[in-house]
Amino acid sequence: MSSTPKYRRVLLKVSGEALMGGQAFGIDIATVDRIAADVKEAKEAGTQHCMVIGGGNIFRGLSAAAKGIDRSTADYMGMLATVMNALAMQAALERIGVESRVQSAIPMSAVCEPYIRRRALRHLEKGRVVIFAAGTGNPFFTTDTAAALRAAEMSCNALLKGTKVDGVYSSDPVKVPTAERYAALSYHDVLARDLKVMDASAVSLSRENKIPIIVFSINDRGALAAVLRGEGRATVIGESA
């Protein structure tokens, strides 16, 4: 165990789709277990962890709105989907002995704690993983923005964005084999070039609060701990590239 981890406290953002594994929809328990094992390993190195999980594997407000549900209602449904994912992650963490708490931005007292900033900080100090559910609690936002907001509120040293690939590329590396991977980018680059890393409000919020965004692959077992040691493949987004 390292006494001085590179990052004291981080927020890990995982999209809902990352929980699907090979499935087309929903929650693949083996995948959730793998991510939980990664969090456990990274936490044991001495970093405090909080998490935001998306809901796109279950429900996406924008596409439901396009089909006729009014946008705010559809977005509330999307936020509820994130609560299911948070509970799945909590169960996976607790199966491997990692204490965790779910805090929802929409109070749901029979299911989990409401979001209370100071209480979340106490949980983190006690070594618990805090999973923030229901996004920001507001329609017309995304869980990326929720992640940037909670990372700022929790005074996190980094916002880790777990994606399908090991960083930010010049074009989609799945479609363009010659696509270049960036080791570092500035917030300005990401915003000006409209690089699809996180939505613009999440990037702006992180920039204002000087929280670096680290993009890495959530599909590579052990990548999270490696990134937190300052090793491994990732793109670091900060004030200067």
Name the residues that contact ligand UDP, by CB under 6 A.
15-17, 54-56, 60-62, 74-75, 78-79, 81-82, 135-136, 138-139, 141-144, 146
Any alpha helices (H) in the chain, and if so which ranges?
29-44, 61-66, 71-95, 117-125, 143-153, 187-192, 200-208, 223-228
Shortest separation between residue 106's beta carbon and ligand UDP, angstroms: 10
Instruction: Give the residue closest to ligand UDP by C-beta.
Output: 54
Count of CB atoms situated within 10 Å of the CB of 240:
9
- Measured over the CA atoms of residue 32, residue 34, residue 40 and residue 42, the dihedral's sign is negative
The residue among 133 and 190 lying less far from ligand UDP, judged by its C-beta, is 133
The residue among 5 and 148 lying less far from ligand UDP, judged by its C-beta, is 148
**Residue found by looking up tokens 């999980």 in the block:** 53
The residue among 48 and 142 lying less far from ligand UDP, judged by its C-beta, is 142
The residue among 5 and 56 lying less far from ligand UDP, judged by its C-beta, is 56
By the 8 A CB rule, do 28 and 85 touch?
no
- Among 191, 220, 222, smallest CA distance to 206 is for 191
Shortest separation between residue 174's beta carbon and ligand UDP, angstroms: 18
Shortest separation between residue 165's beta carbon and ligand UDP, angstroms: 15
Shortest separation between residue 235's beta carbon and ligand UDP, angstroms: 18
